[in-house]
Structure 1
Amino acid sequence: MKGRTIALGAIDGAEAAALIVDGQLHDLLVDSDHPRPGTIYRAVALRPMKGQGGMFLETPDGNAFLRQVKGLAPGQPLLVQVSGYADPGKAIPVNTRLLFKSRYAIVTPGAPGINVSRQIRDDDLRETLLEIAHDVMEGEHGLILRSSCAEAHPQDIAEDIAAMVQLAAQVLADESGAAEVLVEGDSPHIHAWREWTADEIDDSAESFDAHGVFDMIDALRGPLVPLAGGGSMYIEPTRALVAVDINTGGDTSPAAGLKANMAALRELPRQLQLRGLGGQVLVDPAPAPKKDRRQMEQVLRAALKQDATETIIAGWTQLGLIELQRKRERVPLTEILA
């Protein structure tokens, strides 16, 4: 099935959203008990952590950890936003750089200026969007007009900006008091509406069954990822890191290792995204000459450019492994489906 489809449903009672591109599961969001990224707290400073350059904060959902806390005293209230998911037993990661994000606009308190997404290249359209923004914006907040504005009605953009400006003003005026949740992070359905584009949105009760989403999720429960050409990749998370092993399968040609590695590295970002895996990722490529490493890196970098999650290629180890550092933006799928 060609095209892009968003299926809105539930898995074991938890709200879920799936993005299907040309019949293949491209992204998956499943709600969990963890605080959602984007949640804004009024937190209370507890104590600094010497040697770690940060401070623990009290929130309604448990302790949070904030880096760069110069000038912050214990007992002081402050506004913070959840920036990702914590490892089991660790504090919620937060920062003080608040973003009020919607489908068309991102309001950025403390970072003045109005900017239009670089993906919008039409000069006339950029000028029109700036005029809309200047008519609506109030105060000293900054604003980013997202690429989705290119296909939107001007009135919808103006209403979206106004709603985010109003929300920002309400939150920033509510800094004093005990620890409290001020803004909930987006649910999977809202995130899908905000971030994904599709030819069809199916929100029927049978959407996951109709598009085979449950079968696609079942394939993610195990470590094996079959690759084009007969090769395979095993993705196995441990407590310390995510181990990825690439194999050539039955291919015995001289270029078998390179072909398997190229196929695996193209597929790796999607698999990590779907499985909700982050942190340190260690890739063990199939045997291939050292001269092929540059080509493999180029393929991996191109694949990561299509991936929204921040991932750094740290380099090659002396044993010929590829080290990656990936931001933890999801709860591991195995934990949600356990």
Structure 2
Amino acid sequence: MKGRQIILDQINGREAAALMVDGQLDDLLVEGDAPRPGTIYRAVADRPVKGQGGMFLKTPDGNVFLRQVKGLAPGDVMLVQVTGYAEPGKAIPVTQKVLFKSRYVIVTPDAPGINVSRSIHEEDERDRILEVAHEVSREEGVGLILRSACEGADRDEIAEDIANMLDLAEQVLADAEGAAEKLLDGDGPHLAAWRDWSEPAEVVTEAGSFDTHGVLDALEDAQGSRVSLESGVSLFVEPTRALVAVDVNTGGDTSPAAGTKANFAAARALPRALRVRGLGGQVVLDLAPMPKKDRRGFESALRSAFKRDPIDTTLVGWTPLGHFELQRKKARQELREVLK
């Protein structure tokens, strides 16, 4: 089926949202057992971690880990926000740079200024959005980032969203003193889908729609390691305890350019393959053989593919053995864990 569909349903009793693009599963959000990214705590500093420049903090949901701490001492109280999911056996990662994110706006405390998404190019539209923001904004020292969803959106909807997020930020920031406490839950899958999947799409909310719209079949494929691409090319995406290993195979093509073609196809497919499986951390690509002169073009293709991906990914570079390494934020829980 052509076009975009946002499908809101449940899997094994867990709230879930799927984004289908031209009949392919493009993204997936599933409720897990860990605190959601975006959750805000009033936390209490516990103990520093020597050699790592970080500190464990106490919260009602257990210890969390804050990196790059300066001037903090055990017993200090602060607001922190969950940035992603923890690796097995590790504490939940948090940051002191608290953000309040909605469909049209991100409120940035302590980062003043009003900015419009660079993806909105039309000057008249940028001026219209800025005008709305300036009318609603009321506090100095609090910044606004107007997201790409503002383009073409109703003026009143944008204004209402900004006002609601400013009210929420004011409420949470005023509650910074006291014992460890959860102040705000991160958004669940259905709300996060509304917030982040803002391009035009058909929205399906009927119970059982994962079955009737092909999501369950796509999930069954995603639980395997093989990703089939054009011309017999395939990827094998295999998470281990230490890293995610990706192997590129050329299939039956034995032409001199087979390796280069397979690697470029893999670059285009890799963000989606990692996203729907909920994989992050260290990623190592074992590529098909190709001339060194093609490496620059491969990096450009990979960079272009991840530029459109919503999850922060750093292209680290080549190893002496010819592997390519990535570092990817753990913004999703692993599919194999949430579907157990």
Worse-matched range after superposition: 116-125 or 2-11: 116-125
Gaps of 5+ in 1: none
Gaps of 5+ in 2: none
2:111 corresponds to: 111
Report the CA distance between 1:307 and its aligned residue: 0.7
The Cα offsets for residues 210-251 of structure 1, whole Å up to 9 and x where unpaired, read as 210000000011111111101211111111111111111111
Report the CA distance between 1:68 and its aligned residue: 2.4
Report the CA distance between 1:103 and its aligned residue: 0.7
The Cα offsets for residues 29-81 of structure 1, whole Å up to 9 and x where unpaired, read as 11100111000001111112222111110011110111222222211211000
Instruction: State how 1:71-86 maps to structure 2 within 5 Å.
Output: 71-86=71-86
Contact 1:6 1:198 in 2 (8 A): no
The answer to whether the aligner puts 1:178 opposite 2:179 as a matched pair is: yes
Report the CA distance between 1:206 and its aligned residue: 2.4
Distance in 2 (CA, whole Å) between partners of 1:320 and 1:68 is: 32
Distance in 2 (CA, whole Å) between partners of 1:93 and 1:232 is: 34
Distance in 2 (CA, whole Å) between partners of 1:4 and 1:43 is: 40
2:318 corresponds to: 316
Instruction: State how 1:41-120 maps to structure 2 within 5 Å.
Output: 41-120=41-120
Q: Find the partner of 1:237 among 236, 239, 252.
A: 239
AA partner of residue 274 (structure 2):
L
1:296 corresponds to: 298
AA partner of residue 324 (structure 1):
L
The answer to whether the aligner puts 1:146 opposite 2:147 as a matched pair is: yes
* Secondary structure class of the residue paired with 1:129: helix
The Cα offsets for residues 116-150 of structure 1, whole Å up to 9 and x where unpaired, read as 11122222222222221122112221111111111
Distance in 2 (CA, whole Å) between partners of 1:292 and 1:278 is: 26
RMSD: 1.0
The answer to whether the aligner puts 1:216 opposite 2:221 as a matched pair is: no
Contact 1:312 1:324 in 2 (8 A): yes
Distance in 1 (CA, whole Å) between partners of 2:194 and 2:310 is: 16
Report the CA distance between 1:299 and its aligned residue: 1.2
Q: Find the partner of 1:272 among 266, 271, 274.
A: 274
The TM-score, its normalising length taken from structure 1, stands at 0.98
AA partner of residue 39 (structure 2):
T
The answer to whether the aligner puts 1:15 opposite 2:15 as a matched pair is: yes
* Secondary structure class of the residue paired with 2:232: coil
Report the CA distance between 1:305 and its aligned residue: 1.0
Distance in 1 (CA, whole Å) between partners of 2:70 and 2:252 is: 58
The TM-score, its normalising length taken from structure 2, stands at 0.97
Q: Find the partner of 2:286 among 284, 287, 294.
A: 284
AA partner of residue 279 (structure 2):
L
Contact 1:315 1:322 in 2 (8 A): yes
Runs of 4+ with deviation above 3 angstroms:
none
Distance in 2 (CA, whole Å) between partners of 1:327 and 1:228 is: 28
* Secondary structure class of the residue paired with 1:156: helix
The Cα offsets for residues 241-292 of structure 1, whole Å up to 9 and x where unpaired, read as 1111111111122211111111111101110011111111110111222222
AA partner of residue 181 (structure 2):
E
The Cα offsets for residues 81-102 of structure 1, whole Å up to 9 and x where unpaired, read as 0011111111110001111111
Distance in 2 (CA, whole Å) between partners of 1:123 and 1:12 is: 47
Count of aligned pairs = 338
Distance in 1 (CA, whole Å) between partners of 2:234 and 2:128 is: 50
Q: Find the partner of 2:337 among 320, 331, 335.
A: 335
Distance in 2 (CA, whole Å) between partners of 1:139 and 1:39 is: 23
AA partner of residue 19 (structure 1):
L
